Amino acid sequence: MKYLKERELLIEYGKNMLDKGLTKGSGGNLSIFIREEKLMLITPSGIDYYKTKPEDIVVMDLEGNVVDGERKPSSEHALHSIFYKKRDDIDAIVHFHSVYASTLASLRWDLPASYYLIAVSGGSSVRCAKYATFGTDELAENVFEAMEDRYVAFLANHGLIAGAKDLPNAFNKAEEIELCSEIYYRAKSIGEPVVLDKEETDNLKRLFSSYGQVKTD
H helices of the chain, where?
A: 4-19, 77-86, 99-106, 137-146, 167-190, 198-208
- Of residues 6, 37, 76, 192, which has the active-site annotation? 76
Rounded CA separation 217/200 (Å): 32
Residue 161 has phi, psi (to 5 degrees) of -135, 145
Is 36 known to be catalytic? Answer: no
Is residue 194 classed exposed, middle or buried when 0-12, 13-18 and 19+ CB atoms within 10 A define those classes? exposed
Sign of torsion, CA 95 98 101 104? positive
Crossing angle, helix 167-190 and helix 99-106, to 10 degrees? 60
Cα angle: 146, vertex 162, 112; to 5 degrees: 55
Q: Are 40 and 34 in contact (CB under 8 A)?
A: yes
State the CB neighbour count (10 A cutoff) for residue 86: 9
Residues designated catalytic: 76
